[in-house]
Amino acid sequence: MSTEALPNIPAVSPKEPMWDAQRRRALIGVRLRRAGVYAVAITIAVWVLLPIWLIATMAFSTPQDVRAFPKALFPNPISLDSINFFLNADGIIRATGNSIFVALLAVVLSTLLAVPAGYAIARYMFPGRDAVRLVMLSVRAFPIVVLAVPLAVIFLQLGLFDQPFTLALMHTALTLPTTVLVISSVFASVPFEFEEAAQVFGCTPLQAFARVVLPLALPGIAASAILTFVLSWNEVFAAILLTLSNRTLPAHILYNLDKSSDPFKFAAAFVMLVPSLIFIFFIRRYLFNMWGQINK
Amino acid sequence: MRPSLPHFHCPYLQPQAFQLAFTREGQSLSLRAEALPDASVTGTLPLQTEVRVIDRQQLDEVLPNGATRPVFWYYVSGTDANGATVEGWVNQRSLFIENRRTSETARVTGGEAVREWTFDHLNRMLADFRFGTAVSTTLLLMVLIVPAQFVLAIIMALVLQSQIRGSGLFLYIYAIPLGISDLVAGILWFAIFTQRGFLNSLLVSAEIIELPFIFIQADHMAWMIAIIVLAEIWRATSIVMVIVVSGLQAIPRDYLEAGEVFGASLWQRLRHIILPLLKPSLQVALILRTILAFQVFAVVIAITGGDIMTVLSNETFRWYDPARFNNPSVAAVYAGFIMLISLAISLFYMRAVRSQEEAVKA
Amino acid sequence: MTEILIQNAVKRFGKFVAIDDVSLTVQEREFLVLLGPSGCGKTTLLRAIAGLGMLDSGRVVIDGRDVTYLPPRERGISMVFQNYAIFPHMTVFDNIAFGLKMKKTPKPQLTERVQNAAKLLHIESMLERYPSQMSGGQRQRIAVARAIAVESPIILMDEPLSNLDALLRLEMRAELKTLLSKLGVTTVYVTHDQIEAMSMGDRIAVMRAGKILQLDQPTRVYDHPVSQFVGGFIGTPPMNFLHGQVQKNGAGYRVKLGDYHLKPPADLEAALTAWDGKSVLVGIRAEAMEPTKSPSPDAVQVNVDVVEMLGAQNLLTARIGDDTIKVSTSPDFQVAVGDAIWLRFPENKVRYMNPEDGQVLNAPSLEKVLA
C-alpha cells in the first residue's frame, strides 16, 4: 500500500467523518431528495390502497353501518353480515360457479393451445411466422365490444347462446394472443442448447421438451395461466352479451346493479376483488417479462 | 334491380358484424319470364306496390295427394324500388286482386324472403338522441384520462426505478389495480362519491359542508366525468406503468449515467434521454389505452347507472340487450363505429410518430 | 491543481465490500490506471470519483474541493463508458454536443468545440449520421470525442477498449495515449488488461478485493511487485514462484533452491533472521533468468518438459523440486524436450516473499534501495 502525504487536507478516519458545513449541506440534500422520492412513492401507494381499504371497511361492516352516514373509516363492529347477505342473495352462488367454470375452462383451453403455439414461435422458423405474430397482435387490438356482438348473434344462430362454455371460448379467444406471446417468450428464455444437450444424451425431442424445457418454463406458464384467469374473472362486457340466465358473477352484478342496495354492491366489489389481489401477488415478478415481450 | 343477398352463417366475426350492421331481412316479389315457379327473374317489386294486370293464365296445379286445382298466373307491370318499370309473370298467391278473372289492377302482398343492403340501422344510430352525447362523452373521457395516466405511470415508473428500499412492495401495490375489473373499480369510487359516501362523510364530519353534496346526478355532468376519470386513472394506470417500467428497464444504465456525468439534471435526463428512448413503449401503451378508452363501460354504469350518462359501449349494450331494444343490428353498427374510431386514432398516432421521426432524420 | 484525492473510501454492496478503505492521490495531468481482476473494486472506485453511487464513508476531493456528496455534473469531470453509452436517438453531432448543450454553451462555441473534438478523433465526416449505423470502433471514437468536447480537466475511462477487437485495441491504445497527453488532462483509466495498463499508464494502481495493493510506475510494478498476487497478475507469463529454504550461511543467510543456493541482498539479512530454516517464496520473471546449455557452477540444473516456440521468444517449462518454472529464452536458444539446461538467477532480479500471505519480505527497505 502506498502511503502518501495528503497536501492541504487533514487526514480523516473512516469512523469519524468530518462534519464540515459543505458536507452536511450535501448530505441534507441527498436525504431530502430521498425523502421526496419516498413521499411520492407513499402518496401513490395510498392513492392505490385507499379505495381498497374503504371497500374492505364497507364489506366488513354490518348492513346498518354501510347505510349509516357519516361513514366510519374502520368497520365497527367487524361483521360478516354484509358479505353473507351478498353471498346468500339470489343467483350469486350460481354466478360464482359459472365464473369459476368459465375462467378455469378458458385457462385450460388457452394454455393447451398456447403452449404448442408459443413453443413453435419460439423455436422454429416456419413460413409465415412473422405473419402469425402480427395477426395475433392485431387481434389483441380488436375491442371486445366489436367481437362480442357478432359472436353473440352467431351463438344464437347455432343454438349455443347462454351457455357458459361459449363464454369460455370467447375469453380464450381474447386472451390467446397474449398467452401465446408470453409463453413463447418464456420458451425463448430457455436456451435451445439445453434441449440439444438432452437429445445428445439420449432423449427424444418430446422427452427433451417434457424433462428439460417444461420444468424450466413452468413458472412462466403458470403466471400466464393466472393472468388468463384474472382476465376472464373480471371480463364483463362479453359476459353480459353472451349469457342471459347463466350469468357470470360480474355480469350478474352489473345487470342487477340498479336494483341493488349499497351493502350488496360493496360486498360484491370486495368479493370480486380478493382473487385478483392474490393472483397479482403471485405473478408480480412476471409482469415485466410479459409486457416486455408484448412491447416488441 | 336490388341485389338480394344470400342467407349465410358466416364463421368470421367481422363479416358477420358487417352483415348485421348493413343488411335487413325483407320480402320482395320476383317477376318471372314465364308462368313457371322457376323461370328466370325479370325484375322484383317491393311489397304493397300497385301493379297493372296485362295478361292472365289459368294453370292446373298438382297437389301432393294427386288432385289438381286451378291456379292463376298474372303478367303484371309495376314500378320497382329504383323507379324502373318492370314486367313479368307472378303467381296469384303473391297478389291481392279483387276479381281473379276481371280486375285490371292488383297489389303485391307476398314474395320471397330476401336479405338486402340497408343504411337503416346506421341512420337509426345517427338519429338516436343519445348517440351524440355518447360520442362526445367517450371522447372527452379519453382526452382527460389517457394523458393523466401517462404522466402518473411515468412518475410511478421513475419512483420504482430510483432503487428506494421496499421498491418490491411498491411495485406490488402499484400493480394491484391490474387485477381489478372495471366493474369493481366503478363500485369502489361510487362508494367514495355517492351521496352517503366517504367523501361526503369526511366533508360533513369536518363541517366543511352542512349537507351531503350530491355529486352523481343528471345536472352534475362535470362531477360525474371527474369521478369516472379518477376511477379510470386509478384502475388502468397500472398497465401503462408496467409497460413503461419494462421499457425503462431496457434502457441501459450507462445512458442515464452518461447523462448525469455530462451535466444533465433530472429533468434534462427525462427530456433528452429517457422519453426519446421510451418512445416505442409509450406508443404501444398509447394505442392500447386509446383502444381501451373507447370501451369504457362498467365503470360508467357502476358510477352513474348508465342512464343519466352514457358512452358508446353502453349504447351498444342497450341496443343489444334483449330486455331493452333487442336490436343486434344497431348494436353492431355501434361496435363497428367504435372499431373504426379507435383504428383511426391508432393510425393517426403511428403516422404522427413516424412523421416526427422522419422530421428528426431529415 | 486539478488533482484527485481519495481518502479512506469505503463502499459496500450489502455485505460485499467493494472498496475497502482506499486512499489515493492522482496528480495533475497524470495518467493513472486502475488495474485488477473483475470484482476488485476498480470500477466502483472510478464511479466514486465520477459521483455515480455514493461512498459509504471517506471522501473525494477534486482540485481542493470536497465533492464527496456532489452530483457528477458539479464535479468537473467527463467520462468514457465501457459500452460507450452513445445515445442511439441522437446524431453523432448531438452526442458529442450533449455535455455542452446541458451546460447551455452558446451555439457558435458549441459547434466549434464539437468540430474540434470530432477532428481530433477523425470522425468529422460522420457528424450527421446516427450511431446505429456505426461500427464499434467508430462509436468508441464518438464516446471519446464527447468526453473531450466538454473540456473538463479530468477524464475517467471505464475499460473503454474492452469491446474492441484486438487489432483495433492496439491502434486505439496508442492514439488515446497521444491524444490525452496532448490535451494535458488528468486521466483515471480502469482496465483488467495488464498490457494496456503497462503501455498507457504513468502509474498503475493494482487492486484486489477492494484494496490497492501497489501504486507505482509500470516498470516498478513489473520488476518489484509487492506481493505474489501482483507478480502473478502482471506479465505474460506471470512471475515464477518457487519454494526455497532459508539457511544460515556464516554471518548471513542463503536460500536453498534444489541443490543451488541463492544469495539474498545484504539489506535483506535482517528480515531473513525470522525465516531461518523456514521456507520462503522465491519470485523471478521468466525472462530474468540466464539459461545456458552447459553446466555452470552458480546455476541450477533443470530438465526441459515443454518447449513453446512463440516467434519472439522460446518459452520453456521445467521443474525445480515441486515447482514449475517458465523460462523465456531468445528464439536462437534451441533445446528439445528432455534436454538439461542450467539457469542462473541474477541477484538483483530475485524477489523473496512470505509463502503464507505472499507479501514481499522487508518491502519498504527494498523499495528504498531500488529507488
pLDDT tens by residue, A70-116: 888 888 888 898 999 999 988 899 999 999 999 999 999 999 999 99
Which amino acid, one-letter code, is at B105?
T
- What is the distance between the alpha carbons of residues A207 and A203, in angstroms, rounded to a whole number? 5
**Going edge to edge, which strands form the sheet with C4-13?**
C16-26, C4-13, C57-62, C65-66
Listing DSSP states for A116-157 in one string gives HHHHHHHH---TTHHHHHHHHHHHHHS-HHHHHHHHHHHHHH
pLDDT of residue B147: 93
- Interval B55-82: pLDDT, tens: 888 888 787 888 888 888 999 998 888 8
Nearest to A14 among C8, C212, C215 (CB): C8
Chain A closest-CA separation from residue C215 CA (Å): 6
Is the pLDDT score of B13 beyond 70? no
- If you average pLDDT over residues B216-245, what whole number do you get? 91
> Rounded to the nearest 5 degrees, what angle is found at the Cα of B89, between the Cα atoms of B83 and B92?
105
CB contact under 8 A, B263 and C50: no
Strand partners, C292: C342
Q: Residue B3 — very low, low, confident or very high, per pLDDT cuts 50/70/90?
A: very low
The chains in contact with chain B, meaning 3 or more Cβ pairs closer than 8 Å, are A, C
CATH architecture designation of domain C236-356: Beta Barrel (2.40)
Q: What is the mean pLDDT of residues B327-333?
A: 88
- The residue in chain A having the minimum alpha-carbon distance to the alpha carbon of residue B173 is A45
Whether residue B247 and residue A58 make contact (CB cut-off 8 A), yes or no, is no
Q: Point out which residues pair with B113 in neighbouring strands.
A: B27
User: What pLDDT, on the 0 to 100 scale, is given for residue C364?
Assistant: 52
CB A77 within 8 A of CB A96: no
Partner residue facing C78 (CB), from B254, B259, B262: B262
Q: Residue A212: helix, strand or coil by DSSP?
A: helix
CA distance C117 to C125: 12
pLDDT at residue C7 above 50?
yes
Distance from CA of A42 to the nearest CA of B (A): 8
Q: Which residues of C188-222 are buried (b: 16+ CB within 10 A; e: fewer)?
A: bbbbbbbebbbebbebbbbbbebbbbbbbebebbb
B243: helix, strand or coil: helix
Return the domain boundaries, chain A: 24-81, 90-295
Question: Of the ranges B182-196, C73-87, C259-273, which one carries the lowest mean pLDDT score?
Answer: C259-273
pLDDT value of residue B361? 53
Strands across the sheet containing C186-191: C77-80, C154-158, C186-191, C31-35, C203-208, C211-216
CATH 1.10.3720.10 assigned to A90-295? yes
Q: Using the beta-carbon criterion (under 8 Å), do B301 and A244 form an inter-chain contact?
A: no
Which residue ranges make up each domain of chain C?
A: 4-232, 236-356
Q: For an interface test with B, which of A47, A139, A153, A185 has the most B Cβ atoms less than 10 Å from its Cβ?
A: A153
Of residues B355 and A250, more confidence is placed in A250
pLDDT band at A47 (very low <50, low <70, confident <90, very high): very high
pLDDT tens digit sequence for A53-72: 999 999 999 888 888 888 88
Q: Do C70 and A6 touch (CB under 8 A)?
A: no
Residue B69 is which amino acid? R
DSSP letters, C103-148, are TT--HHHHHHHHHHHHHHTT-GGGTTS-GGGS-HHHHHHHHHHHHH
Domains and CATH numbers, chain B: 13-118 (no CATH), 123-361 (1.10.3720.10)
Cell 354504469 found at: B301
**Closest alpha carbon within chain A to B236:** A48
What letters, b where the CB count within 10 A reaches 16 and e where it falls short, cover B207-239? eeeeebeebbeeebeeebbebbbbbbbbbbbbb
Sign of the Cα torsion C161, C326, C264, C278 reads positive
State the smallest CA–CA distance between residue B121 and chain C in angstroms: 49
Q: Which residue of B has its CA nearest to A68?
A: B196
At C50 the pLDDT is: 92
Cis peptide before B322 (omega within 30 of 0): no
B192 and A54: CB-CB below 8 Å? yes
Please tell me which of the candidates B162, B174, B313 has its beta carbon nearest to residue A48. Answer: B174
Neighbours of A191 (CB within 10 A): 12
Rounded to whole angstroms, the Cα distance separating A63 from B234 reads 27
Of B157, B168, B169, give the one whose Cα is nearest residue B285: B157
Closest Cα of chain C to A259: distance in Å?
56
What one-character DSSP code corresponds to residue C298? T
Is residue C295's pLDDT more than 70? yes
- Cβ–Cβ of B272/C52 closer than 8 Å? no
Sort out which chain A residues have CB atoms less than 8 A from C54's CB and list them: 30
CA separation for the pair B159, A26 (Å, rounded) = 21
Is the pLDDT assigned to residue A164 strictly greater than 70? yes
Chain B residues with CB under 8 Å of A266 CB are 187, 191
- Are the Cβ atoms of B254 and C81 closer than 8 angstroms? yes
Q: What is the spatial distance between Cα C29 and Cα C212, in angstroms, rounded to a whole number? A: 21
ipTM: 0.85
Instruction: Dump pLDDT digits (tens) for C197-233.
Output: 999 999 999 999 999 999 999 999 999 999 999 999 9
For C69, which of A2, A15, A27 is closest by C-beta distance? A27
The model's pLDDT over C325-349, given as tens digits with 9 standing for 90+, comes to 999 999 888 898 988 999 999 888 8
Query: What is the overall mean pLDDT for chain B?
Result: 85
- Taking an 8 Å cut-off on Cβ atoms, the answer to whether A234 and B180 are in contact is yes
Measure in Å the smallest separation between the Cα of C212 and chain A Cα atoms: 6
Q: Do B20 and A38 make contact, defined as CB atoms within 8 angstroms?
A: no
Banded pLDDT at A142 (limits 50, 70, 90): low
User: Would you say residue A10 has pLDDT above 90?
Assistant: no
Query: Do strands B41-46 and B23-32 pair parallel, antiparallel, or not at all (unpaired)?
Result: antiparallel
- The answer to whether the CB atoms of C68 and A4 lie below 8 A apart is no
Q: Give the confidence band of B356 by pLDDT, cuts at 50, 70, 90.
A: low
- Are residues B191 and A51, on separate chains, in Cβ contact within 8 Å? yes
Contacts of C25 in chain A (CB under 8 A): 4, 6
Residue C93, pLDDT above cutoff 90: yes
What residue of B is the nearest CA neighbor of C52? B257
Average pLDDT, chain C: 88
pLDDT of residue B4: 44
**Nearest Cα to B297, choosing from B310, B307, B288, B287?**
B310
| pLDDT for residue A146 | 75
Pick the CATH number of C4-232 from 3.10.129.10, 1.10.3720.10, 3.40.50.300, 3.40.640.10: 3.40.50.300
**Confidence bin at C47 (pLDDT 50/70/90):** very high
Question: What crossing angle do the helices spanning A214-234 and A92-123 adopt, rounded to 10°?
Answer: 140
Please state whether C277 falls in left (phi above 0), alpha (psi between -120 and 50) or beta. left
pLDDT of residue B5: 45
Separation CA B304–CA A253 (nearest Å): 15
Residue pair C257/C298 in contact (Cβ under 8 Å)? The answer is no
The yes-or-no verdict on residue C106 having pLDDT over 90 is yes
In chain B, residues with a C-beta closer than 8 Å to the C-beta of C72 are 257, 260-261, 263
Report the residue from B10, B164, B234 with minimal CB separation from A37: B164
